[in-house]
Chain A
Amino acid sequence: MSESNKKLKTTGDTEIPYEIPVEGSLGLLALGAVGIMEWRKVRGANSVVKKTK
């Protein structure tokens, strides 16, 4: 399980640390559009890494 500790922009310009696991989480779904889009980015990046290995 790989994880990312990216900072997630949650409201306006405020950035808060938010864990984005590759497999996603209910917390990210609950964050709404921002959480879903960031999760997809991490998921996509992870699949690229896997393919190139």
Chain B
Amino acid sequence: MNSEKRKILLIGWDAADWKVINPLIEAGEMPALEGLINEGVMGNLATLEPSFSPMLWTSIATGKRAHKHGILGFVEPDSSGLKVRPVSVVSRKVKAIWNILMQEGMKVHNVGWWPSHPAEPLSGISISNAYQKAQKPLGQPWGFSKGTVHPQKMSRHFAKLRVHPGELTPAHILPFVPRAAEVDQDKDKRLVSVAKILAETATINSAGTWILENEEWDFMGMYFDGIDHFCHGFMNFYPPKMKNVQGEPFDLYKEVVRGAYKFHDMMLERQLKLAGPDATVVLVSDHGFHSDHMRPLFLSDEPAAPAQQHRDYGVICMKGPGIKKDERIYGATLLDVTPTILSLFGLPVGEDMDGKPLEQAFEGNTEIKRIESWEKVEGDCGMHPADRLEDPYDSSEEIARLVELGYIEEPEKDDKKNVEKAMLESRYNLGRAYMGAAMFSEALPIFEELVRNSPEESRFVLRLASCRYELMEYDSCLEIIDDFRERLSNNLTELKVNNSGEIDREKVKDEELRKLEEEQRKDKLRLLNTRKDMMSLELLRARVYMKQNKASSAMPILRKQLSVYPRSKQLHLSLGRAYINLKNWKEARKSFETAVSVDPDDSSAHHGISVCQLRLGNYYEAIDAALNSIALLYHFPFAHYHLGEGLYHIEEYERSAEAFEVCLAMNPSIGKARNLLVEIYNDKLGNPGKAQFHKDYFQKDKSPEETDPVFKTRGREYKDAEHVDLKDPVIVVSGLPRSGTSMMMQMLQAGGVDLHTDHERKADESNPKGYLEHQAVKRLGRDARWVQNVKNKAVKIIANLLFYLPESNNYKVIFMLRHIDEVINSQQQMLIRNNKKDAENYPTSLASSYRRTLEKARGWAKGRHNVDILYVNYSDVIEAPRKEAGRVADFLGGDIHMENMIDAVDNKLYRTKN
């Protein structure tokens, strides 16, 4: 792919959704976007948890999740720490795509990204997200906050390009609200809202088009929040009419959302023209927006509740040199945008990025280059200097907008309380971000702390219980559920009493009546939300029971909740899974079919139907359902597996093999697919070569370096990072069980390092020199308080438990590596010696599970500033003990008796090597 002369225009449309776009394209009302799709690729873009726009747009721009990039919500304490302000770019801890490209010598511009205030000193023009907000009525001086435009000398020029809502005329408003003349503007302020959003959107377009037309550029980012703002204000009036929306406002405002999309398409036409035919254009949204029967009838009363209107899938489309034409791409997430742009420029992707380049969109073979991290590349990248004191700007307008949209509550007069609230929400959002990344051990202490401080907040308690569930701590999870259920029941009883009273309208005055009605409305909302919390709690309880193989106990819970929420998709899905556990395929199918009737776009519901139809022997129906599931979510390995199984049964062996191959490409550890492939290639398709290829996957007689890529200690996979000095570290010896951890403990002991061991587990034939373990380690997941007392001592902790180590300490980790087959063989020998295992029974699935654990441990160490890790290869210690002891001594520093360490290595123990 020729990347030398490439120019990339990245356009962000907050909340854009194919569900609204597709009918407009079919009606010929979004011709520019249609052209972009026809000339390039399009697909869904999966969002992240929580779907809060400043966090998401920063993930789009960095390729990293929120716990890495540091933007954790809508507001943050200002530099004084005494007040809150809208979240600012100085809180972003990592480089955005434009910083990386600038460092590579490119001319980069950025307009309006959220957050981007104060504007970064980029090589081109940088205009912050404070730019478009009109703070004063038309005619009064409309000043600029300092730091809105870089270079500052262009501030006056860009100030003139802004559009004030007061400038707009009926010609601008009528396409959105054709019957605007009928609106009683004394009572209904929604026309003002339309004008404000439209003016802000036009302002961003004005600045962006000026730059495209007048400046040299290699990269240009433009972000529009108009669609999101129009949707939050007017999606409830989008057809079909919702049952809780009155007829008059529906008729007045039903065109606003469509109008918003059509206006964005008109702007896109201009932007594409200015970018030129050879430019690469990437258009993305951070999440979708429910526009059908999935629109929530009411929102919960927690902060940022409007995000409940967001849909999990936004949009992506791309066109340009080297990009396929008129094709669909699958499985993209918003973390992939930055890695894809880097690859299009021929630049390496950071290994610390969480996304991947969307190679399926590229024509031909594109070499994907890698770099450990762009954060380590020095040079001017246009970020604010680390020591920069923030320049708080007049944020009242932006705060007011966020309040108006419902993303934040009305600030209290007490600044201290506002700061505390902002801190609390950012902790909560960080916990949710960890949950979204499946980093449950990291999320757990955050939710524990939140529940400790605010035990009545349902959202904290529910997350804590979910976290315990994901960590498979089912008893703890049930304890939380039981405790909170009691409190919710009491609340429900109280709220029911409050809601049962009628207001005697004849006895109260008008003002009082309004107050009483408002109170009644709030009580009703509280009642609805408490019922919903109860449902979430009971749903979780049912899921725990299913994990504990007690599906029959889960059934009555789910049925009871269904009597209250008969259209809850989650309840029907869980009921379907419970029936599957009980092998009641017909009832399971019924539940999944109901889930599909609630949400036809739920891929897991279609997949559930596929599984049931397979077990009922309805193979054609099973294939159809699997295909429906895959069409909605392509990256769903089990849907491909069950498609393959259905095709196998109807003797469509070639197609069946294709489906299994796709399944394994997505998840190589699904052994059932591999076994069926071996059979198909051998017995049905006469292709023993391919059968052998899959058999070889389990083969154990190759050298470790060939068979096990994660085994390499000197290659990319386990390359030691630059070691750092950590104060009073806990020295952790880790690895898989039987990978040489005891040997390393013995070496450390001989070298003079204090060990944390209770000597409870005695030496035996499997470990003649002793295990040197401590029983407290086994309970690390539940109680980690002891760890702080182990500073400067060595403790043995197996790889699976590393994730429970508290963040508050520093760790020097010596991680033992050994070929996984050797590890498993050694474990087998030990179990046989202890009369616990049959020698013939080789656990093939264990290998892939161990590989995942190693990967997870590697990721854990890599992402932490308080962890320094040294990878030590077991066989290297046996073969070259002096060299390896030297590495360990260097790593730990201080006085270590090298000769004693070397003497402690007993190579006779290396007896299970193949």
Contact = CB atoms under 8 A, between A and B. Distances in A.
Contacts of B168: 24
B842 interface: no
B906 interface: no
A29 interface: yes
B207 interface: yes
B494 interface: no
B163 A29 contact: yes
A17 B168 CA distance: 23
Interface string B141-178: 00000000000000000001101000111111001000
Contacts of B269: 30
B700 interface: no
B207 A36 contact: no
Nearest to A40: B167
Contacts of B172: 24-26, 29
A45 interface: no
Contact of A33 (B170, B206, B263, B273): B206
Contact of B161 (A10, A27, A36): A36
Interface stretch (B118-126, B208-216, B468-476, B832-840): B208-216
Contacts of A34: 209, 213
A37 B167 CA distance: 12
A11 interface: yes
Given A12-B213, A26-B266, A32 B169 contact: no
A10 B213 CA distance: 9
A15 interface: no
A11 B206 contact: no
A34 B205 CA distance: 11
A31 B270 contact: yes
B202 interface: yes
A45 to B, nearest CB: 16
B273 A32 contact: no
Contacts of B439: none
A32 B266 contact: no
B274 interface: yes
Contacts of A30: 202, 205, 263, 266-267, 269-270
Contacts of A26: 171-172, 175, 263, 266
Nearest to A30: B266
Interface in A1-53: 10-12, 21, 23-27, 29-34, 36-37
Most buried by B among A10, A32, A33, A37: A32
Contacts of A23: 169-171
B885 to A, nearest CB: 68
A12 B209 CA distance: 12
Given A12-B213, A33-B161, A34-B213, A27 B208 contact: no
A18 B170 CA distance: 20
Contact of A32 (B175, B209, B263): B209
A42 to B, nearest CB: 12
A31 B170 contact: no
Contacts of A24: 167-169, 171-172
A12 B214 CA distance: 8
A37 to B, nearest CB: 8
Contacts of B163: 29, 36
A24 B510 CA distance: 45
Contacts of B263: 26, 29-30
Contacts of B266: 26-27, 30
B468 to A, nearest CB: 52
Interface of A: 10-12, 21, 23-27, 29-34, 36-37
27 contacts: A10-B273, A21-B171, A23-B169, A23-B170, A24-B167, A24-B168, A25-B171, A26-B171, A26-B172, A26-B175, A26-B266, A27-B266, A29-B163, A29-B267, A30-B266, A30-B269, A32-B205, A32-B206, A32-B208, A33-B161, A33-B206, A33-B209, A34-B213, A36-B163, A36-B202, A37-B160, A37-B161
